Structure 1
């Protein structure tokens, strides 16, 4: 009997967690590949957990076992009546977060309610049997988390790699039916005791204890969403980077809820603060940290803090009679974290401040230090950072600032003399204010906003205005030039060469650019050219159109048509064989919208460009080598693939950049190789991406 309950929990958890990356992958192309899609999906699943735990709590209050079994069976029948075999979404106008939530609720709400209720309901059901461990069924939570963890790890490494999305949903449907068979045997093939009401009434839960449960659930859930957003914004919104943090989150539950935890909780309490060093070093060094270290630093600290908070939860768990209340508080903390990270933070903050904010809040979860009373650590940290801020950037002082000496000294102070929880929290907050607050940067912020699609910032540095997303420059304009430049500065020297040479063969041009940035690329075209520029983010369009920030769209020769929308969806609506040059530069930060680089996407592009047309792709990326993806799709479509790396050159205003070009125009390709330094790429097609398959791991720049 115990084995069958474990199987039921394992199956339900596997189904619940494997469908999360599935639906997010369906939603990504509709919303431009933004990492916020995953955060909103997580909010939905956390809300489903809350509703299902509340539902399980209500069932536990029913008078007899027959009543709660019949009620749950009725819900199962209703869920089958509107069961979706596929998850389908279409582009809609409105607030993206609420549109996504509506689709998820209407198509998946009832089946997921049945599944999500399993963890508390089946544990409660087992507690009502005559099993040996019925008085303490928390061990079953390990089976539930094992199913969740296996599903998450299997998705990017096995399921996503070998199975298409449609087949995935059909397989999930079969799994759901199998779970219902197991559930039916547990509900009606097991003997249950009468509910013992007097024991439930004899144990009361204090409000303080409930608030502690909610708090210890909120912190790791918010950190989970924050660290996932942080990683995927800077690398790519893809299942492999969604499931890693979530898998660690579940693993922390498995470890702390195990009968004999493999990592002793006293060790976690003693060393948790040490691991805080890793993400802070990442914050201080910024883009100087390689991709693998960037991921490792943040995930390691997140895992330790998840172990700490979940260890606190298991230490304060109530008896089995109150387990539904316990899990309801856990789910409430998770949902509050989802609401904060996905709905409140993007509207309250103009940068991704929620992650460092909750990291600082996590300091209140650190065990009490032996130091009594207040210490001077916050004051010393404040003085160190203030002195560093006001010191002139000259001579040896410039070296001190360049190597972040004050920031590292402050971190050492915090680690060596943390004081009590309050002083530790205050010290970390002071350090984070100096690391993140724009007003304390040595540049003037002209514009900074955040929305569903990310953070945009325009900084005024001596001689130029610069558009930055996360740590990546997405265009700039020199403010001292009397005449507008020709659009070849920054990353865009190679593309300017291509446009100039192509115009010698064919003019006027009809071009489309996916990704607006500052609008600098408009200056590569002439007045008689027809140019369309597309961006999914309304704020980016407003930045480029504002002459106080950038004047390219106003001053450059061509009349530019601006369109708001996802690039791939916009391309679908243009006439076939109508575009001479299609430029793909729609990357925010170093994150890539994978759906713009799939085989199906390039088949669409090829249909829309003229027979001698060009597809030009900006593939500069600190973390990923994207050239093999272009090579693979080029081989598949029998196109010539060219590549050019442009080294940085301060004299000419060039930033280091990398470009790929795909065309069937053999004569023009030869001309580019002879006169502009482009090289022919001969690599194979083992890294072909499709709408059903993409794998980033082999492409990481370790």
Structure 2
């Protein structure tokens, strides 16, 4: 029986984790067209699944206390069957009646309710499986250390995480995914049912008891009295608090690093897979066979590298290579924290309590970053907070707080400020400036690395000083659910720009606010298109998806009517009411601003076919257009409204979107031309390189564009277009040509 039991337990743990982590991206991807706006859909979906894990671990901790093995096995099998019946993937893919029922509720509430109804019970069941199966292993004494199954659980999670963007999404449509996911859930249910049946059995006579913690480990785990002699006493409150913090810190670091890199370093679709994969690997290493042996060296490396990460954060380099310091630190820091967690794990009798507290810390870290931080901070402050917290957690030496410790952050902060002034006077920028400002102060801070509180205060002083004094020409900064927007002065105050991360979304000349600059310059592709439009009879109706600062309004004629669709209300405030930008007030045509997801808003107007001459797609999430705005279904909707043409702004750093956009236009019967404008002469003040694509049914427009500028060319042949059912994002990244 033992030979049979172990493979069943491993399969149940692995499959449950695999299906759970495949279900999360599937649910988020399926709901994008219905709720719009990739950022808040993905964030809300992640929070939902974190809560599901917490609830599942809570059930796994509470149920064994109240039920003997046989009733517990029966309860979990019943839950497995209910989860399989309740899984409604078609409710995600298709139009759900729930959306109509909750039409008046905020989008976030509707999304959470939609997830709860369609995947809530399966997510709850799958989350509870890993700790319960490990408890079954403990009771049957199948193996001496049930915590090794945690490695199998994280292995299943990692495999699903890598497979979804690399294999599943590019090749399998959502309808087929839902069928396969249901089959995988059935297999997981079968394995879990077998595990529950085996878990109700008594161990064979003579089977060894599960090992108690070693004496040093027992003391670290908070065991006292009888616990030190080997009996499974419950861990004390101080130990459980350490569990919570050691889970909270890496979770906060994961969320903060993901937001920082995708907004301030490189904005790449699906990048969230990389840090989450690293996070799962850290669990596998920490709870594996050699986790405790490498704990000390990894901890020292994380402390050393954490201070140098400060320099990387202020280098202001937008490059794929700039990701590496952040990814390496996340791996080291998370592995170090989780190795300490593995050292503090209790007797297997208390493993469900251990996993419950861990999940509570992990969920709290994610919730703080996605819900609390946007309310408290105007910038991505949670990332530096996570680095300071992890530094405090990893230092071995303890030191009682004393009043003179306050001099430490003042010292590191003052040195940071002084070196920043030297850097500015020497006109240093980028990596050179970061090395000068932070190199000496990092070495100073590392001198305190033997003492927990002193080291954390030293690092905190650096971050506070860099926030207060290294603002450069920042005029305004604020944050909401959709991210951080900054207003920056350029050209000795002549220009104001609105910036999201490393991406500029509009530039205004304060001397001539009605001038089209940046990507919208008159000598660029946008200037070509609107030059031809304004040669037509007056009175055009123009829909603009994405506001920025309203720069395109410079091309509006008095007889025109323009409508801007903008998802981010903070962007609307900055462009219209904050007093920084005047492009909208300088418009010669009347305009209106509709706040909401453009695709959803246009769907509500389906009774008015051809109610616009032109639809311009100029919406960005940091550096990328949200996927659901470039699918065949989206282009069909734009074509329904636009009588003459659709203009797509495709400029970005890491993806070639022209082929898939042209393929989507071709799928609805439209022809396309694309122009990549790299000509930036000194005379074109305020101009930025850009790429635009025009889709139309009017051959005269295409001929006029080609005559106006020979750089308007037919897009290169492509593979299948993106649809709401399937989108191969990775191929667009690999096909990128610099511009």
TM over 0.5: yes
In 2, Cα distance between the equivalents of 1:676 and 1:262? 65
* Aligned equivalents of 1:36, 1:297: Cα separation in 2: 27
The residue number in structure 1 matching 2:217 is none
- 1:95/1:427 CA distance change after superposition, 3 Å: farther
2:191 to 179, 182, 189: 182
Q: Deviations over 1:194-225 (max 9, x none)?
A: 99999998512111100000001011111222
| Farther off after superposition, 396-405 or 488-497 | 396-405
Contact 2:89 2:119 in 1 (8 A): no
Give the distance between the partners of 2:619 and 2:372, measured in 1 at CA.
Answer: 26
Query: What do the CA deviations read for 1:42-86 (whole angstroms, capped 9, x no partner)?
Result: 222221122111111122213521221232234334435543232
CA contact under 8 A between 1:39 and 1:338: conserved in structure 2?
no
Q: CA deviation at 1:470?
A: 1.7
1:306 maps to 334
Please show how residues 65-84 of structure 1 align to structure 2 within 5 Å: 65-80=69-84, 82-84=86-88
| 8 A Cα contact 2:13 2:153, kept in partner | yes
The answer as to whether partners of 1:514 and 1:585 remain within 8 angstroms in 2 is yes
The aligned counterpart of 1:142 is 151
1:108 maps to 2:119: yes
Consecutive unaligned residues of structure 2, counting only runs of 5 or more, are: 211-225
**Which residue of structure 2 aligns with residue 690 of structure 1?**
723
Query: Which residue of the partner structure matches residue 98 of structure 1?
Result: 109
CA distance in 1, matches of 2:634, 2:376: 35
Question: 3-state DSSP class of the match of 1:534?
Answer: strand
Aligned pair in 2 of structure 1 residues 699, 209: CA closer, same or farther (>3 Å)?
farther
Query: In 1, Cα distance between the equivalents of 2:236 and 2:44?
Result: 32
Counterpart secondary structure, 1:148:
helix
The answer on 1:555 being equivalent to 2:559 is no
User: Aligned partners of 1:594, 1:142: CA distance in 2, in Å?
Assistant: 34
Match for residue 233 of structure 2 among 197, 203, 206? 203
| From 449, 453, 460, the counterpart of 2:482 | 453
2:358 corresponding residue in structure 1:
330
Q: Cα–Cα, structure 1 residues 82 and 203, in superposed 2: closer, same or farther, change >3 Å? A: same
- Structure 1 residue aligned with 2:20: 16
Contact kept, 8 Å, 2:670 with 2:696, in 1: the verdict is no
CA deviations over 1:337-371 (Å, ceiling 9, x no partner): 12211111111112221122212211112233699
Q: Identify if the C-alpha distance between structure 1 residues 399 and 264 changes in structure 2 by more than 3 Å, giving closer, same or farther.
A: closer
* Mapped partners of 2:364, 2:621: distance in 1: 28
Counterpart of 1:594 in structure 2 is 627
In 2 relative to 1, CA 543–660 (structure 1 residues): closer, same or farther, beyond 3 Å? same
Gaps of 5+ in 1: none
Rounded Cα–Cα distance in structure 2 between residues aligned with 1:425 and 1:491: 47
Decide which of 502, 506, 512 is 2:533's aligned counterpart: 502
Paired residues of 1:237 and 1:592 also in contact (CA < 8 A): no
Question: Is 1:272 aligned to residue 302 of structure 2?
Answer: yes
Equivalence for 1:629:
660
Flag the 1:647–1:76 CA change in 2: closer, same or farther, 3 A.
same
Q: CA deviation at 1:94?
A: 4.6
SS at match of 2:37: coil
> How many pairs were matched up?
690
Are 2:246 and 2:341, in contact at CA under 8 Å, matched by a contact in 1? yes
**Residues 694 and 281 from structure 1, CA distance in 2 versus in 1: closer, same or farther, beyond 3 angstroms?**
farther
Closer/same/farther in 2, CA of residues 666 and 409 from structure 1, 3 Å limit: farther
Q: TM-score, normalised by structure 2?
A: 0.86
Paired position in structure 2 for 1:48:
52
User: Given the alignment, which residue of 640, 645, 665 partners 1:614?
Assistant: 645
Report SS of the residue matched to 1:583.
Answer: strand
Secondary structure at the residue paired with 2:239? helix
In structure 1, what is the equivalent of residue 254 of structure 2?
A: 224
SS at match of 1:218: helix
Correspondence for 2:692: 659
Alpha-carbon distance in 2 for matches of 1:436, 1:87: 45
Q: Is the 2:540–2:560 contact (alpha carbons within 8 Å) kept by the matching residues of 1?
A: yes
CA distance in 1, matches of 2:527, 2:283: 53
SS in structure 1 opposite 2:722?
coil
For residues 390 and 736 of structure 2, what CA distance do their matches in structure 1 show?
31
Q: TM-score, normalised by structure 1?
A: 0.90
CA distance in 2, matches of 1:333, 1:399: 39
Q: Find the partner of 2:163 among 154, 164, 172.
A: 154
Moved more, 399-408 or 613-622: 399-408
The separation in 2 between residues aligned to 1:547 and 1:559, in whole angstroms, is 20
Task: Identify which range, 526-535 or 448-457, moves more after superposition.
Answer: 448-457
Tell me which residue corresponds to 1:583: 616
Deviation at 1:329, TM superposition (A): 0.7
Q: SS at 1:254's partner residue?
A: helix
1:300-347 deviation line (CA, Å, top 9, x unaligned): 211111101110000111111110111011011011112211111111
User: Residue by residue, what CA displacement relative to the aligned partner does 1:403-458 show, whole Å, maximum 9, x if unpaired?
Assistant: 33213433344356645232322222222224334x65133534x33222111223
For residue 3 of structure 1, what is the aligned residue in structure 2? 7
Q: More deviation in 468-477 or 215-224?
A: 468-477
Q: State the 1:543 CA deviation.
A: 2.0
Following the alignment from structure 1 to structure 2, what is the Cα–Cα distance between the partners of residues 45 and 606?
Answer: 37
CA distance, structure 2, for counterparts of residue 53 and residue 144 of structure 1? 14
Matched, 1:249 2:279: yes
Counterpart secondary structure, 2:357: helix
Q: Distance in 1 between matches of 2:431 and 2:10?
A: 57
User: SS of the counterpart of 1:276?
Assistant: helix
Shift of 1:510: 1.6
Distance 1:270 1:398, change over 3 A: closer
- Aligned counterpart in structure 1 of residue 460 of structure 2, from 411, 429, 432: 429
**What SS class does the counterpart of residue 4 from structure 1 fall into?**
helix
Within 5 Å, give how 1:636-655 maps onto structure 2.
636=667, 637=669, 639-649=671-681, 651=683, 652-655=685-688
* Deviation, structure 1 residue 684: 1.3
Q: Report the CA distance between 1:680 and its aligned residue.
A: 0.5
Partner of 2:499: helix, strand, or coil?
strand
CA deviations 1:243-285 (Å, max 9, x no partner) are: 2222211111111111244982232122112332664343111
- Structure 2: distance between partners of 1:650 and 1:360: 45
Residues 75-113 of structure 1, C-alpha deviations (whole Å, 9 max, x = no match): 334435543232436485554443332222232221221
Indicate the SS of the match to 1:480. coil
Check whether the contact 1:214–1:333 (CA below 8 A) recurs between aligned residues.
yes
- Name the CA shift for 1:202/1:428 in 2 (closer, same or farther; >3 Å): closer
